[in-house]
Structure formats: structure tokens, C-alpha cells
A and B are shown apart, each in its own frame.
Chain A
Amino acid sequence: MKFLVNPSKFNKIADYVFKPLLILSIILFALGLLFSFYLSPDDYQQGSTVRIMYVHVPSAWLALLTYAIMTLYSIAGLAFRIPFGFIINTAVAPIGAVFTLICIISGSLWGKPMWGTWWVWDARLTSVAILFIIYLIIIFMNLSFENRIVREKVVAIFVLVGSINLPIVKFSVDWWNTLHQPATISKLSKPSIDPSMMIPLIIMTFAFIMVGLAIAILRIKIEIISRKSNLI
């Protein structure tokens, strides 16, 4: 597991993994889109708009997952002095921002026919919007410091401070009365979703994870190269 903390080992593994990852992501995306458009049933209340879920839910999960990964690597970078943590922080933040943006846009496209409005100020939506702004602040911080050592550590501290928002996003639907529905899959009891909708959702989630990983590998490699050549 050393490739998770060591840049040169990561490079080696990434070279092996990258092309299979791309092929797998294309296959999974084709399969997932096929399932979610043609092979899954309409919802008995929502009709065909339920298919937005197959983009909305995976992107929301990945937005949270990306931030959780950044938090773990910030702890690794600050506490155990592993510089690879800072590399991950810089490389992965825009990916998380894009996933959050996809989640917000698809959610508001879903909200218009179902709730009757593009945006509501309820706890889940607001906390996800704050998550998006936190991602943007991390990106801007990465752009605006001149000293690299200060930049990466300050960004790591900010990621840790901002991780307060993660449990708020996750549990906002349980703590407050929200228009957004509570969790149906990622909860302790049995998922309350029909298998015919569960299967495309899981396929799409893995497709999103593969695409995210492929982009992340590219960005991390660029970051490692630019650090080696002292470009930043």
C-alpha cells in the first residue's frame, strides 16, 4: 500500500492502472447509461424524472468522498509530514468542486419538476452550497500564495477546519426537517430502494468513481512533475 503515500511508487502503479481504468470507466458509463435510461423502471410518482437520480446521487457521494480523502491526506501531511498529502490536496480539490457543481445543478434540475422550484433554503442544499464555496476557497488559496511551503500547509489547515461541514452535510436531513429526503441507501438498516433502481445507481457510482480516479491520476502526476522541476 506504499503507493498511497509515496510519489514515485504512485507513478509506477498509476502507469499500470491508467489505461484499464479508462476502458473500465467507458464500459461502466455505457452500461450505466443504458441501464438508467432504458432498463430501469419509471417511478410511480415521479415518472421519468427519477432518472436524474443516477447522476445526482453518485456526484453527491463523490463530492463528500473527495473532501473526506482530502481531510485524511491533510492529517497525514500535517501530522506525519508526508508531502504526498499536500500533492493530493492540490490535485483533487477541483475534481471535488466539479462533482459538487454537478450535484447542485442536477439537483436543481430535479427540484424544478418535483418541488416546483429551482432552489430551496433547506439544510441539505445550503450545506452543499457551503461545501462548494469551501472547495472554491481551497482552489483560490492554491492560486494566491507565492511561497509553496506556506501554501500547502495553510491549505491543509483550512481543509481540516472546513471538514466541520462534512457531518453537517451528511446528517442535515436527520437533524432538521428538510424538503430533501433522508438517506435511503447509506444508512444502517436495509436500503429502502428497489433493486431495479439500485443496480443502475451502483453501476453509475462506480463509473463516476472510475472517471474521478482517472482525472485524479492525471492531475496528481502533473503535480508531481511540476514539483520535481520546481515550477511552483
Chain B
Amino acid sequence: MKFFNKILFFYYREYKLNISGFQDILTNIIFFFVSIFIFIFSVGPNKETISVIGVAIVWTLLLLSSTLSLKKFYQDDFENGNLLIIHLNGFSYGFIAILKTFSHFLFVQIPFLLSIPIACILLNIESDKLMYLLVSFGIGSLTLSCLGSISSSMNLMNQRNFLLGSVIVMIFSVPIIIFSVGIINMEENFNSLINILFGILLIVFAINPWASGLCLKLSLENN
């Protein structure tokens, strides 16, 4: 019971932190919408063109804007020592990585999930495609959170070149982009594509605690 209380307190703390810094998340979402505007301005306001490439635009910009918040993933907790305190309270590094991944999914990716319908109205995407988009982003965003955990824990001690973290996330998210845009454009083999997406999610989810836990341990030991 004590263990579950600790987990609850961890999420309560994350909730407090994210509520107090809510303008950061809002800024991410505003970035998402502003980049949609810029995309539409550069393509031209032709309705048919936009509805053809709309899904691809939404997915690309979701990926880009969710990599923006990677810097905050572990960095704050690492610098003020909270990561070490959480570890001393009986959580292994791998388990911290899993908890943090879910917290990132809840507080950073879910707001994007809520803002997708508005983006669909702006981009003229039909409502039956919206369902597929939401399902694919629900799976894909958890994958992106896992990748974000791996890359940001790798770059904790990297003072010079933090953009590398975003590049790592983007290079490993290529299959997610391919299959989730494929889901929306090919409704007939929905099941097989969603199985592939789940498979990718499981692979990344299995790698995540191992890789990020080891990186966290290394950074904390050599800080």
C-alpha cells in the first residue's frame, strides 16, 4: 500500500508542477496552431489540397511540437536533485523512467489530443477521419513519450548540443509517422496497421526503462 501511495504522491507532485507551469504547455499548443497557420499560408487556402495533405500536416506538426518540451522532461528534476530523492525513496531508475513517461503522456500529450479536433476543423479534415487520427495519435503519442524519455535522459549531461535530443526522437519516429498516416489514408486494412503501431509501441516501451534508467543512473553518478 505504501508503494501505491508513493506513486500517487509522485503524480500529485507532477500535477502541481504542471499546473503551475501550465503556460509552457499552452505555448506548445499555440506553437502547434501557429505552425498550422503558416503551413496553410504557404500551401495556399485551396480547400481540396489542404484536405488531402491535412492529416500529414497535423501529424508532422504534432511530432515537432511535442519535441519542443523535451528539455523539461528530466532536466529540472535532475538539476534540483529531485530525481535522486525519488530514487532514494525506493523507486528504481527504470521505474522512474516509466512513471515520468506516463506523466509526460498525461500532461503534455493529452492537451494535444484535445486540440486535434480544432485543428481538423481548420484543415478541413472529414469527421470520420478524425476518429482514426485520434486513435493513431493516442498510440503514437505514448510512443513519442517513450522516445522522448530515452533521448532526454541521454542528453542530461550534454551541455553543448541539446538539439540532438529532438533529432534522436525524430529519427526514431519515422516508422510511427509512416504507419499512422497510413491508417488514416487506408481504412480497409485498419486492423493490420494498428497492430503494427501497437508493436512499435511495445518495442519502444520495452526499451525505454532499460535505456533511460541506465542513462539516468550514469548522469546522476557522474554529476
On A, residues with C-beta under 8 Å from B are: 78, 126, 130, 133-134, 137, 140-141, 143-147, 149-151, 153-154, 157-158, 160-161, 164
User: What is the predominant secondary structure among interface residues of chain B facing chain A?
Assistant: helix
- B161: CB under 8 A from chain A? yes
Contact of B222 among A126, A133, A150 (CB under 8 A): A150
**Interchain CB contact (< 8 A) of A130 among B160, B174, B207:** B174
Cβ contact within 8 Å between A144 and B168 = no
Residues of B within 8 A of A154 (CB): 154, 157, 215, 218
A133 to B160, CA, bound (A): 19
A146 to B156, CA, bound (A): 11
Are A161 and B218 touching (Cβ within 8 A)? no
For residue A163, give the distance in angstroms from its CB to the closest CB of chain B.
11
| Interface of chain B residues 180 through 223 with chain A (CB within 8 A) | 203, 207, 211, 214-215, 218-219, 222
Instruction: A140 to B158: give the CA distance in the assembly, Å.
Output: 11
Residue B43 lies at the interface, judged by CB distance under 8 Å to chain A: no
| Cβ contact of A158, chosen from B168, B174, B219, cutoff 8 A | B168
B157 and A157: CB pair below 8 A? no
Nearest chain A CB to B58 CB, angstrom units: 20
From known contacts A137-B164, A149-B222, A164-B203, infer whether A157 and B171 are also in contact, taking CB-CB under 8 Å. no
| 14 residue pairs bridging A and B, Cβ less than 8 Å apart | A133-B167, A137-B164, A137-B167, A137-B168, A144-B161, A145-B158, A147-B157, A150-B218, A150-B219, A150-B222, A151-B157, A154-B154, A161-B172, A161-B211
Using a CB–CB distance below 8 Å, which chain B residues touch chain A? 150, 154, 157-161, 164, 167-168, 171-172, 174, 203, 207, 211, 214-215, 218-219, 222
A190 to B160, CA, bound (A): 51
A144 touches B158 (CB 8 A): yes
Known contacts A141-B158, A153-B218, A157-B214; 8 further A-B pairs (Cβ under 8 A): A130-B174, A146-B159, A147-B222, A149-B218, A149-B222, A150-B218, A158-B168, A161-B150
For the complex, what is the distance from the CA of A177 to the CA of B172, rounded to whole Å?
22
CA distance A151 to B154 in the complex (A): 9
A158 touches B154 (CB 8 A): yes
User: Which residues from A are CB-within-8-Å of B218?
Assistant: 149-150, 153-154
Contact A157 B159 (CB under 8 A): no
A150 and B159 CA atoms in complex are apart in Å by 12
Q: Is the beta-carbon distance between A157 and B161 smaller than 8 angstroms?
A: no
Instruction: Give Cα A206 to B35, complex, Å.
Output: 51
